[in-house]
Structure 1
Amino acid sequence: MNFAIVEDSRSQAEVLKALLKSEGYQVEVFAEGQALVDALATHTFDFFVVDWTLPDIGGDEVLKAIRARCGWDVPVVFCTARTDEEDAADILRLGADDYIPKPIRYMEFMARIQAILRRRKPVAPAQIRVGGIELDPSGRRVTLAGQEIDLTQREFDLAVVFLQNVGRVLGRDELLSTVWAREADVDTRTVDTHTSRLRKKLGLAGESGLMLTSVYGQGYRLDTVKA
């Protein structure tokens, strides 16, 4: 699970990052709200922890951008020194899942994060059908034109990410953190190697009705084409 922390206090951000990483989560820190908003175009996050008062844009603007890009299923928690009843009500009405008063009590912080995650019941992933490819995330099976294709675990995970993001540029670092999140000894060359194998196995040079191309200096993009 990938967390985004938006916090202009470096020391505060590092403590929160360490707490979350100790639970096995991936964490990216942003010192300004606009930096997070810009990152939403190319990165995928599963949980947002946001300081309400930021040096550039307001927490309400950050929240609107998150909801517009990521929808309402992604948890957003605000950390704020504004704790009177009216401010707390405003934060929740705008679409936050919870708020944590500053100064942050770290045991309470982790308990609130875990409580929100418990309430988010996992939904069985739906089958994905794009072009001539059908992919079943639950059964971890993929077929091309009705024929089952044998993929390694990482190739399958990579295929899921690409097929869920048709038309969107996915950076190598994003793919690395999503598919190889818990492996410290891999680099972006691993992404290139697995992408090349996946392109051949699933006919992603156009044969399947999909074209996987390299976007110079950015990453990869999967597009639909006429087979």
Structure 2
Amino acid sequence: MRLAIFTHDAALFQLIESCFEAEGAVCTRYSAEVELARALHREEFSAIVFDAAAGFDPSHPVLARRACYGDRRAPLIAIGDFCARDRVLAALEAGADDIVLLPVDPRELRLRFHLAVRRFASHPAAVGGCLQAADEIETGVYHLHRADGTAYVNGAPIKLTAREFAIAWVLFSQQGNYVTRRSIAATVWGSSEEIVGRTLEQHIYKLRKKLLLDGAHGIVLRTMYAHGYRIEQRNEQRGEQRIEPRNEQRIEPPVERVVQRDASPARRAAANDKIKVHAGNSATARSAQPWSPEPDNWAFLTQNTGTRRLA
């Protein structure tokens, strides 16, 4: 009997291990989601014990992989603080086959384990009577069939590779939410983002072209840096986009100012004289010619300087 235990809590792992020690069970602890996803794909386990404190939602790579591939070779028992009824239903819908409340009672854990294993052996598709993962996803004109790995657009079948379909299933099942590159890499490849980074981009590119996820059928595959990928309705995308006005330079109208000119006694006498001064960026100011010395000012200066040379 082998158990895969996903938890970051060493004390909880020791408690679970001690519960099945008398039965000779081999318990393996996994603290990284990628390692557990890879192990579930390659090895056989009697059951999976999942610490919900590490994050228990449908986007978790382990739960997403089970839903995507229908890879339910062992029952999954979630341990957590499921006090409210809605949290219990959410855990079952996310992929849990049974739950154990905190603090863990060793007798309850052993009982839940054996009941889950027995139900799974008799009917793997409906372990514990929990809500079975949907075998089909329908969004607008898109229809995904997990049983045969086929995607239909307006009723027409689209040929996808196994991994392309797996990526499409993960994205459509999380419609409206961003799915990180790390989560897709762990779910579909069972590897880290660094290893499958470039390959993932190529698959996304091909998937967008094959399914026309550019809004042609009302569905858009959106990419956002540091967030991942998201399937969304076209009207949702329009609601998020906002067209900002262009930052154009505003030309102010000419401003009238009253200036008293005091270049000569004659001008000082005309205190009520008013002229218009245009703004520097106006069309009038740009086309104006340089000013020439006024006659009265020039005469006044020459009369006082005479023939003296200026240094």
Normalised by the length of structure 2, the TM-score is 0.48
Q: Does the C-alpha gap of structure 1 residues 138 and 179 become closer, same or farther in structure 2, counting only changes over 3 Å?
A: same
| 8 Å CA contact retained: 1:166, 1:223 | yes
- The residue type paired with residue 90 of structure 2 is A
Aligned to 1:100: 110
Aligned to 2:225: 216
Aligned to 1:82: 105
Question: What is the Cα deviation at residue 172 of structure 1?
Answer: 1.4
Q: How does 1:1-227 map to 2 (within 5 A)?
A: 5-6=6-7, 8-9=9-10, 12=14, 15-17=27-29, 21=40, 22-23=43-44, 33=53, 35-36=54-55, 40=57, 42-43=59-60, 45=63, 47-50=76-79, 59-61=81-83, 65=87, 67-68=89-90, 70-71=92-93, 74-78=96-100, 82-83=105-106, 88=108, 99-100=109-110, 114-118=117-121, 119-121=123-125, 125-181=134-190, 186-225=195-234
| 8 Å CA contact retained: 2:213, 2:220 | yes
Question: What is the Cα deviation at residue 155 of structure 1?
Answer: 0.8
**Which of these two proteins has the greater Rg computed from alpha carbons?**
2
State the Cα deviation string for residues 132-168 of structure 1 (Å, max 9, x = none): 2222222332222333222111111211222222112
Which structure features the higher share of helix residues? 2
| 8 Å CA contact retained: 2:137, 2:143 | yes
State the Cα deviation string for residues 8-43 of structure 1 (Å, max 9, x = none): 216648943369754279x8976x82x42xx63742
Q: Secondary structure at the match of 1:74?
A: coil
Q: Does the C-alpha gap of structure 1 residues 73 and 147 become closer, same or farther in structure 2, counting only changes over 3 Å?
A: closer
Q: Does the C-alpha gap of structure 1 residues 124 and 78 become closer, same or farther in structure 2, counting only changes over 3 Å?
A: closer
State the Cα deviation string for residues 70-109 of structure 1 (Å, max 9, x = none): 538622343966357xxx4xxxxxxxxxx238xxxxxx96
Q: Secondary structure at the match of 2:168?
A: helix
Gaps of 5+ in 1: 53-58, 89-98, 102-107
Question: Quick one: distance in 2 between partners of 1:187 and 1:66?
Answer: 35
| 8 Å CA contact retained: 1:140, 1:156 | yes
Question: Quick one: distance in 2 between partners of 1:28 and 1:190?
Answer: 32
Q: Secondary structure at the match of 1:208?
A: coil
Q: Secondary structure at the match of 1:214?
A: strand
Which structure features the higher share of strand residues? 1
- The residue type paired with residue 97 of structure 2 is P
| 8 Å CA contact retained: 2:77, 2:97 | yes
- Give the alignment's Cα RMSD to 1 decimal: 4.2
Q: Secondary structure at the match of 2:125?
A: coil
Normalised by the length of structure 1, the TM-score is 0.62
| 8 Å CA contact retained: 1:202, 1:208 | no
